[in-house]
Amino acid sequence: MAAKKKSKKPQVPFTHKLVLNQWLFSLFDLQSNDGSYTWNGKRLPLLEAFKEKFQISENSDAGLDENNIHRFYKTLTNKAEPLPELPDDLLLEYDQNIVRHTQRLNERRLARGEDAIDWKYFQYLSLLFTEIYLDRYFADPYALLASINEQIQHYNQDKSKADQVALLDPAGDVNGQLNKLAFWSATGSGKTLIMHANILQYQHYLTKHRRRRELNRIILLTPNEGLSHQHLKELEAAGIYAELFDKNGRGLFTGQAVEIIDINKLRDEMGDKTVAVDAFENNNLVLIDEGHRGASSGDNGTWMRFRNSLCEQGFSFEYSATFGQAVKGNRQLTDLYARCVLFDYSYKYFHGDGYGKEYQILNLDTQTQKNAMEVYLVACLLSFFQQLRLHQKQATKCQPFHIEKPLWVFVGSRVTASLSQKEASDIVEILRFIGRFLGERATSVAHIRRVLDKGLITADGRNIFAGRFEYLNGLRLSAEQFFEEIHVVLFNAPGGGALHVENLKGVTGEIALRVGDNDPFGVINVGDDSKLCKLCEGQDNLMVGDRDFNRSLFKEINEPQSSVNLLIGSKKFTEGWNSWRVSTMGLMNVGKTEGAQIIQLFGRGVRLKGYKRCLKRSKYANLPYEVTRPSHLETLETLNIFGIKADYMAQFREFLEEEGLPANEERIEFLLPVIRNLGSRKLKTIRLKKTINGVNTEFVDAFKKQGPIPALAAPNPIEEPATRYLQKNPVVLNWYPKIQAVRSTGAGKADEESQPYQGKLTREHIAFLDLDAIYFELQRFKAERSWYNLNLQREILRELLADQSWYRLLIPEGELGFDSFEKAHLWQELAEALLKKYCERYYFFRKKEWELPHLEYRYLDATDPNFPQISEEFPDGYYRIMVEESQTEIVDKLRELKVQIDTGKLKLWQFAGLRAIPFGQHLYQPLLHLAGSELEISPAPLNQGERRFVEDLKAYHDSASSLLDGKELYLLRNLSKGRGVGFFEAGNFHPDFILWLITNGREYISFVDPKGIRNLGFQDPKIQFYKTIKEIEKRLGDPSVTLNSFVISNTPVHEMGQLWGVERKQMEECHILFQQDGADKYIGELLAKSVSVGIG
């Protein structure tokens, strides 16, 4: 931006100054003093580096596992190096706190039949960071202050004076300097849920430190009454008792209930409707929604003072989408927020992860806009019409993607009730445009033709509407036909007519827009309706009048029968109004000082429900294989933004840039071909038969369709000998880690018992269980896993629990003693966990039992789903790479790579974190590895461990080791669920690679899976799979084929030795090899072992 200004001005963007956030990341071994970290040679924002390092992302498995531990916990701890600051059991303790709070927040939701909260990765991290902070804050604030100061010094050391962040004062009020946390969260990223959890987290630590009594009230500050009501509703939905603050009645539940008050009601002195800040005392928990309102300097800091006073001896959590705007140009605020923003998930991350709509800013330079205003507005109208028509024609197809009927809104940023001059004139201008458009047919038709044929060229020669009207142009209708259709679809007026502007007498502040006597197509929502009507009087093409009407058109906008397609208004839009319909947004009256509000408006506009309510654009959503996106869906998933004056747009872009958002980012699809190396080789693979009893099994879950319906039951080897398997392989539940995690900071570590106690749930325990609750929990589990074919009867539970033969429960003996009823809750939890595990074991047992007789060796052919998809253009298959349009460099480099591939001269290619590995023995090449996440590649690129394995194998192969003499080696990546070869008996295990060694007419096939194994027990079916594969080999009974399976651990051997208490030799016998040993050793062992074990 302003690079030439005096050096006294700060140069470092605010997002790089978030020292508290940097400190938290440093606990995860990501040290930084500017908000970014170099990962694999690439400079990434901390959050992105974190995602890379821990292999966690928006696509990671969310939710709880059958032990009620977040799957994220496993992802976080499943890494090579333990974190000195955050040992696993501490993270587990935090996780369990989060689990408890989440369950608490879900109780009410589940009772209402609503979907339970499943944290997304960034929400989980927000909560985890809060846990870490609160734990340290309560345990030792001085130490916390010192560590934050260390980070500030680290940050300051290479910054100019103007950019330094002031240190905290260890001699001052320590708590007072540390009791404010802020969350930078994009609108739509679920900050309300985070807030609910934060309340519980804070209460937990207060209770833990026996300070619960110190808390006076819980106060939620909102910017206006509309939001207060919305918060009340949402707190209620979460089952948290809340009330709107009533200055006259101090309720019974004060200190328990959350009191919601809008900031306008806080004053220095008591008033009629207002209340003095002092009345609240200052030991409160204060929650602040959109705090920037008061933070900005315009308000003389009064607001800030109030807030500080309320939480002086308490604590505050603040949530906003727009801190960047709020602190702009204010040194003090910049310092303050740099030290209290705990987590940054602002728009750039939100959008980058694929959430919310795409956006398109249709802006012109001032001169062009002046000259071509009319055409520009017609183009905007057309782009909205395009959305509306698309939706109308494809409503059913769009349903799974939750696209609502598009709505066109005109918004200003002012929230005042009165109608400002500028705004009024903007509204009149819009109305006059619509009037002209309807009235002057010939001109309008000409404009439509011009826009569709030529677009609109700006001063610098760009056509801003290039490629924007693909759908409309594809319809091959004439401009006249479009004009007619616009009447029907947009204006509800098949016969045409004049534009009527009617003040609705029965509804204050609403003006209806209609053509002729048809249903209203639009509504204006303003404070001063009569003033606006007066202004419209006498304008050409506008018929102004009154109408008796007492239904609010505005309130009906979200109803399915609403005829309204256009909403003009300002006040309501910012005040907690919500609609999923907004898809084209016109800006009015945007000034320099309203950045924060504008960003919020924008945030509302880009919200999207998405496929299965994943909130993502369909290009980013994880669509099942069978689901196809309807054509032009992206047009409906885009928010078009335009301004009726060019400077509004310029201002808007500036706001976006300050929030770190790229102004117009389109992703383009780059198809990268692969070279296949299969040729006419005959390689065998294990697959389910293509048809079973005459039914095609491809791309369906054949077991669900054709297999016997499994009914959960206890093993009964007398009646059914096969079920002895369930007793020989009992489910194991180890409760020691959980118990240690809970005790680790409290009463000191539990004694390390040398031999864990094995407990059983007896008849007496069962008498205390709530079997209905367990039953419903299992029903949820069944639905979550999509085991719809499983029969699960309520009556079976008692019988199952009475049978002790199918599980091993490791738990300190005392936990099962009958000395306190509190323990019944634990037993309930144990019973649930055991039954879930058994349910899974049982289901897989039945599935395997049915699938095994249907497995066969099949020669791998070109149609094998493990090969990348093919097309006419790329008969060998291709990778689909999504690149941001602006990254022309990557696109250029990819083109070079494509040339290499096309000419068959493949070399190792590397650029910006992407690496293409040529390996002729892999059945297609290159293989891709990606660090950083600007690109999206499908099939998914190799991860770190997989890449290393491939490179090690390649090096070994190229070194022409004698071991490979007379043998051919081939490798194929095995894809995950639905496409690759999977073994559900090992917990739906899809090993990453299939390796063939061919010699003397024998095929040695090995399944190889490089992975971190810290979270797997030694008895885990994945670890024990090396035995299972031998059973399959026997069953398939082909004497020329040898099957094996290997796990390549990237966790060091000594660590696993400690964790499992197992010698290296024993691990190697179980086909576990260690990447740390070096390629020569472990690849050599792998190959030697895979050929040495014949059929025994």
Stretch that binds other proteins, among 221-229, 394-402, 987-995, 1014-1022 (CB under 8 A): 394-402
**Backbone phi, then psi, for 515, in 5-degree steps?**
-105, 120
Exactly one of 239, 439, 496, 516 binds other proteins (CB under 8 A); which one? Answer: 239
- Closer Cβ to other proteins, 786 or 888, answer by number: 786
Please tell me the distance from the alpha carbon of residue 92 to that of residue 371, in angstroms, as a whole number.
64
| Residue placing its CB nearer to other proteins in the complex, 534 or 551 | 551
Query: Considering the rule CB under 8 A, would residue 892 count as an interface residue with other proteins?
Result: no
Residue by residue, DSSP assigns 420-454 as PHHHHHHHHHHHHHHHHHHH-HHHHHHHHHHHHHH
Least separation, in Å, of the C-beta of 721 and other proteins?
9
Q: How many helices (H) and strands (E) does the chain have?
A: 38, 40
Alpha carbons 214 and 285: distance in angstroms, whole number: 10
Compare residues 627 and 668 and give the one whose CB is closer to other proteins.
627
The values of phi and psi at residue 628, to 5°, are: -110, 150
Residue 874 in contact with residue 669, Cβ under 8 Å? no
Around Cβ 634, how many Cβ atoms within 10 Å? 16
Those residues with Cβ within 8 angstroms of residue 1093's Cβ, 6 or more apart along the chain or in another chain: 1042, 1044
End-to-end distance of the chain based on CA atoms, in angstroms? 73
Q: At 910, which amino acid appears?
A: Q
Q: For the chain, how long is the longest CA-to-CA vector?
A: 98
The DSSP string of 520-570 is: --EEEE-S-HHHHHHHHTT-TTEEEEEE---S-TTTTTTSTT----EEEES
Closest CB to other proteins among residues 142, 253: 253
Establish if 817 lies at the interface with other proteins (CB under 8 A).
yes
Residue 376 to residue 66: CA distance in whole angstroms: 57
Amino acid at 198: N
Q: Using the rule CB under 8 A, is 496 a contact of other proteins?
A: no
Which of the residues 245 through 284 are near other proteins (CB under 8 A)?
253, 256-257
Within 398-457, which residues bind other proteins (CB under 8 A)? 399-400
Which of residues 61, 753, 772, 958 is near other proteins by CB under 8 A?
Answer: 772
How many Cα atoms sit within 13 Å of 274 on the Cβ side? 12
User: Closest approach of Cβ 334 to other proteins, in Å?
Assistant: 39
Question: What tokens does 117 get?
Answer: 């909260």
Which is closer to other proteins, CB of 428 or CB of 855?
A: 855
Of 268 and 764, CB closest to other proteins: 764
β-strand partners of 254: 257
**How would DSSP label each residue in 739-755?**
HHHHHTTTT-PPP--SS
**Site stretch for other proteins (CB under 8 A), options 350-358, 565-573, 664-672, 788-796:** 788-796
Q: Using the rule CB under 8 A, give the single segment among 80-88, 811-819, 884-892, 962-970 that binds other proteins.
A: 811-819
| Beta-sheet pairing, 807-810 with 758-759 | antiparallel
Phi, psi of 390, rounded to the nearest 5 degrees:
-55, -45
Alpha-carbon distances, residue 917 vs 599, 671, 938, 952 (angstroms)? 43, 17, 16, 12
Contacts with other proteins, 143-182, as mask; x by CB under 8 A: ----------------------------------------
Whichever of 267 and 854 has its CB closer to other proteins, that residue is 854
| Contact string (CB under 8 A) for other proteins, positions 964-1003, x = contact | ----------------------------------------
Contact 643, 377 (CB under 8 A): no
Chain centre to alpha carbon of residue 926: 30
Instruction: Give yes or no for residue 561 binding other proteins (CB under 8 A).
Output: no
Beta bridge partners of 585: 409, 641
Under the phi-then-psi rule, with left for phi > 0, alpha for psi from -120 to 50, and beta for the rest, what region is 225? alpha
Report the C-alpha gap between 377 and 566 in whole angstroms. 14
Interaction with other proteins in 607-626: which residues (CB under 8 A)?
A: 624, 626
Q: Rounded to whole angstroms, how far apart are CA atoms 478 and 486?
A: 12
Residue 719 engages other proteins in binding (rule: CB under 8 A): no
Name residues contacting other proteins, limited to 4-43 (CB under 8 A).
none
Half-sphere exposure of 184 (CA within 13 A, CB side): 30
Could you identify the residue written with the tokens 């130490």? 143
Q: Are strands 936-938 and 1072-1074 parallel, antiparallel or unpaired?
A: unpaired
Q: Does 793 bind other proteins (CB under 8 A)?
A: yes
- Residue whose CB is less far from other proteins, 754 or 821: 821
HSE-CB for 923 with a 13 A CA cutoff: 26
Q: Which of 822, 872, 873, 965 binds other proteins (CB under 8 A)?
A: 822
Does 813 contact other proteins by CB under 8 A?
no
Site mask for other proteins (CB under 8 A), range 74-113, x = bound: ---------------------------------xx-xxxx
Q: CB of 709: closest distance to other proteins in angstroms?
A: 6
Q: Is 142 in the site for other proteins (CB under 8 A)?
A: no
Smallest distance, Å, CB 127 to other proteins? 21
Q: Pick one of 375, 542, 692, 927: the residue that binds other proteins (CB under 8 A).
A: 692
* Closest listed residue to residue 187, CA positions, set 798, 496, 606, 635: 606
Considering only residues 846, 922, 1011, 1089, which one is a binding residue for other proteins as defined by CB under 8 A? 846
Residues 389 and 671: beta-carbon distance below 8 Å? no
1032 binds other proteins (CB under 8 A): no
Distance CA 105, CA 239 (A): 7
Burial of 617 per CB tally in 10 Å (0-12, 13-18, 19+): buried
When binding is defined by CB under 8 A, the residue of 696, 791, 871, 959 that contacts other proteins is 791
Confirm or reject binding of residue 241 to other proteins (CB under 8 A). yes
Instruction: Report if residue 691 touches other proteins, rule: CB under 8 A.
Output: no
Site for other proteins, residues 721 to 760, rule: CB under 8 A: 722
Q: Which is nearer to other proteins, 749 or 825 (CB)?
A: 825
For residues 451 and 483, what is the distance between their CA atoms, to the nearest angstrom? 13
Q: Name which of 213 and 794 has its Cβ closer to other proteins.
A: 794
Phi, psi of 873 (to 5 degrees): -70, -35
Q: Which of 794/907 has CB closer to other proteins?
A: 794
Contact range with other proteins by CB under 8 A, out of 354-362, 709-717, 947-955, 1049-1057: 709-717
Closer by beta carbon to other proteins, 758 or else 786: 786
Stretch that binds other proteins, among 40-48, 749-757, 778-786, 1062-1070 (CB under 8 A): 778-786
Report, in Å, the least distance between residue 286 CB and other proteins.
20
Number of Cβ within 10 Å of residue 680's Cβ equals 4
Among the listed ranges 410-418, 497-505, 701-709, 864-872, the one in contact with other proteins (CB under 8 A) is 701-709
What is the per-residue binding string for other proteins in 643-682, x denoting contact by CB under 8 A? Answer: ----------------------------------------
Instruction: Report how many residues bind other proteins under the rule CB under 8 A.
Output: 61
CB nearer to other proteins: pick between 699 and 859: 699
How many Å is the Cα radius of gyration of the chain? 32
Q: Which is nearer to other proteins, 481 or 628 (CB)?
A: 628
What the block records as the tokens of 677 is 């190396």
Q: How many residues does the chain have?
A: 1096
CB of 761 to other proteins, least distance (A): 13
Chain residues binding other proteins by CB under 8 A are 107-108, 110-113, 239, 241, 253, 256-257, 396, 399-400, 560, 624, 626-627, 689, 692-693, 704-711, 722, 764, 767-768, 770-772, 775-776, 779, 783, 786, 788-795, 817-822, 824, 846, 849-850, 853-854
